[in-house]
Amino acid sequence: MRKVRVYHVDAFTKEQFGGNPAGVVLGADSLSMNEMQKVANELNLSETAFLYKTENAEADFRVRYFTPTNEINFCGHATIGLSWLLASNLGWTKKKDRIVLDTNIGLVPVKWHKDGELVTAVEMTQVAPKVNDFNIERSKIAEILGVHENDIDKRYPIKIANTGNWHLLIPIIDQKAIDAAKPNFEKLARLNQIHNVDTTHLFTFTPEEQEYDLYTRDFLPALGVNEDPVTGAANGALSGYLVLENILDPTIKHTLKIAQGHTMGRPGMLYVTVEPGKTHPIIKVAGSAVVTIEGTLNLQPSSSKENLALSESFHISR
């Protein structure tokens, strides 16, 4: 029997049972892709990250991400969750002040923020943001999302944006209208599949007196999850869009607080920094996390002997 350590980590929150729960599996070298998919389905969270050895000399670990039904190229909240676990529970802050993750989209650096020895946040630098046009009638997307056509904010363009995955960005007039959205998930899944989009991300700027700058919701029925509470990849792509579309001044640094998850009873907060770069804006997404569950997954012996488990390298006791 193979024993694999698994965790649930609530990301983008300081409160247990808030934010977005991610699965984290350490020492995943012994798992085949098929087994990773089955484990992700068994954990039944929106995304699960699998951490194992990398052959890339510039990285510390290799990571793959799975929803219950699909592998995806990148997941922000699972990256925050696994990095928080390494820093706060497994002692990696005593070894390094940052790590580099080898993902399907390339290298993703992650650094710890600390107050003395206490980890206060982890911050990932996402890959270069991209934005493309997306042509759809407002009446059609409004009908699919279950909002009024007048709820779509005409000041900002509907686009798809990417810092690892493609997200359809829909500007909405206010938080109330976002909360009232009731998507037709079957139609939305079909739309996203046709256009090779992972999620549909609703966003709005909030009044100055609000404690956060933007408010969002994220839907991903094409990946087997109707709604995700707090999304690092989608909000990173949104931040890149805001600068690339000159909604925010691309020549200066921006710090954004983005709230999400309220309608699901799992409110969370992301802290995004957008810095001007030589070739593209630099998107850094930070947040806290809470480890809520840890345990052992018992798997049948593998028929493959290509890899050995990494448990000892993570200093995990069995």
* Phi (first) and psi of residue 141, to 5 degrees: -70, -30
pTM: 0.91
15, 35, 42, 47: which is the annotated catalytic residue? 47
Q: Which of 216, 155, 227 is nearest to 185 (CA)?
A: 227
Q: Can you tell me whether residue 225 is helix, strand or coil? A: strand
Q: Give the chain's residues under pLDDT 50.
A: 304-318
Residue 132: partners with Cβ closer than 8 Å, 6 or more residues away: 159, 160, 161, 162
Model confidence over 88-126: pLDDT tens digits?
988 898 889 999 999 999 999 999 999 988 999 999 999
> Are the CB atoms for 160 and 190 separated by under 8 Å?
no
Say what the pLDDT of residue 316 is. 33
| Domains of the chain and CATH, by start | 2-125+290-314 (3.10.310.10), 130-280 (3.10.310.10)
47 carries an active-site annotation: yes
Q: What is the pLDDT of residues 198-232, one digit of tens each?
A: 999 999 999 999 999 999 999 999 999 999 999 99
List of residues 6+ apart from 280 with CB closer than 8 A: 128, 129
Q: Is 279 left (phi over 0), alpha (psi -120 to 50) or beta?
A: alpha
Q: What share of the chain is helix, strand, coil (3-state, %, to 5)?
A: 25, 35, 35
What does the alpha-carbon distance between residue 219 and residue 228 come to, in Å, rounded to a whole number?
Answer: 6
Which H or E run includes 216? strand 214-220
SS3 call for 281:
coil
